[in-house]
Structure 1
Amino acid sequence: MRLVKTCAALVLVSLLSACTWWSENADVEPDIPEQQLYEEALSAMDDGNYSLAVDKLQLLEARYPFGRYSEQAQLELIYAYFKTFEPQSSAAAADRFIRLHPNHDNIDYAYYMKGLTAFEQDRSFLTRYLPLDETQRDPGAARDSFDSFSTLVSRYPESEYAPDAQKRMQYLKNRLATYEIHVATYYMKRQAWIAAANRGRYVVENYQETPAVPDALAIMYEAYTQLAMTDLADDALQVLTLNFPDYEIHSFREGSYSLLYTASFGLFGEGEEVVAPVRPTQSLGETRAEEREKEDSKEERSWFDRATFGIFE
């Protein structure tokens, strides 16, 4: 009886081992030649099936890491990830290629794709199809894109991708400069004069020839005026006046209004409108000073005049 049990146990163990062996071998894919894998990946990309292309390229890298198509497969993988809307994977693949092949003939393509991936990542779905101001969003991806394009242009100025990178860099400069103005305006409304002045100076020093420069100079002028830094305020105003003579100086501070004034839409209560900063001791501010005097000389409107919208008074 004991012998029968022993034999039955051995047979059972053998059957289980056989099942395990067959199941393991069933999951193992047959060997595919390197060239065939690469051609299948390219064919999938030509057909627009980028998910399949990613699978083929990943398999090629895993099985033939030092093959004749490995380097080209890494480049193709960057683009395939980009087309499957996987920006993190695309950027990681580009960084990996740059690290492994710093002297490759097509390394300029890796830098370009890295910048393009961050560029498209910064432009979200909502900003493409809805009228949203993307300059008020976090510019982290825009900075990464600008840095990658800048590296490409500086290191490989003769690259075929350099002209397009330069155009995108100009757009990114305008976007980053406008974001700094939004932040500076926020500081001005909170009366954080030093922080606002530093933001304005950063725009002037790093984003020249952008539409945000005159606003940056105006913020510097107003912030330095509030800080009683006369020399710095004079310098900012002089640069602004000489380079942008048609710019109309306005205040970036927030007005002070009472609750009654706000609730009645300005009919009742007291409200202090913010006017442009004026320093009548300097010649460049005489025009604005004269305008301020004219505004102050106007007769104060009574509550009855406000309520009747000026019809009876």
Structure 2
Amino acid sequence: MATDESTAWPMPGRTPCVSIVMPCFNAASHLATSVGSVLAQTFTQWELIAVDDGSTDGTLAWLRAQTDPRIRPLSQRNGGVSRARNAGLALARGQWVAFLDADDTWAPRFLQTMVLALQSKPNAVLAYCGWQNVGLPGGRGAPFVPPDLETPDKMEALFASCRWPIHAALTSRAAVVRAGGFDVGLKNSEDYALWLRVCGAGEIVRVPEVLAYYHFHGSNQASGQALRAALQHLAAQERFLAERPDFARQLGARRVRQLTLGALLSRGYEHYWKRDLPTARAIFRTVMRRGYGSLKDWAYMLPSLLPEWAHGRLVALRDERG
């Protein structure tokens, strides 16, 4: 497909090259920035399907007030982000699809650069790029470019953790449809679950530039719900293993447990050392129910069976003793 940007879409009978799906819930205060980053794209052959997911603020009115014909508002009852994305995906017409949340942004060259990357690899199903977290305290917003993951160990690396945020990728719409879209049973890790199914079907391409920006603005974002995120990540892993028993056999039972329960245990320790005891306790109990961990691990985990006040007292005593 030609990449000449001298003529802006839309034109009569012309289909967009890229469909952008944006779920929106009470996002009126963010839309000028996020949609503005779409309007600023140097690549113009796009459509933006903005799905209002039962907002109670001015989100839908704002979307309907836009005059650019490439912006296609859609309204539905509140059903969650995965249902909203699936609804937008059902209307998408582009060869490629990108997912941009209503409070995140792209660099102006995001679409142009990602489309060129995919066109350079005819068998590729997905391109991913670097990103930057904006608004995190303590200087934790350094730009990050992930490594090249198109290696013989690609699926193991992707299975271990989600390697890019949802808006740092451009993927084949056909591949997403074949993968079944987003799992509406997952409230977190729904993008991770989708990438596993998509990336197992073809080549992926790294774009070594920071082109996506994740904006932190409060603890109500999905990324701030630590316990649910940890348990949903495990659920996504287990669903993929059930779908792909060949992959489970390839990894072997020991490696599977390391990448699933071992990773969950590590998250539990992270919260334990931060003294986020409620989250750590819930994770530890999940790991113990699965019979995972060394004797040393169990020495840390077993007190989570006690009442929380008793566990807290034991932790305090351990801290006093150094």
Q: TM-score, normalised on structure 1?
A: 0.31
- Of Structure 1 and Structure 2, the greater strand share is in 2
Q: Give the number of the structure whose alpha-carbon radius of gyration is greater.
A: 1
Q: Determine which structure has the larger helix proportion and give its number.
A: 1
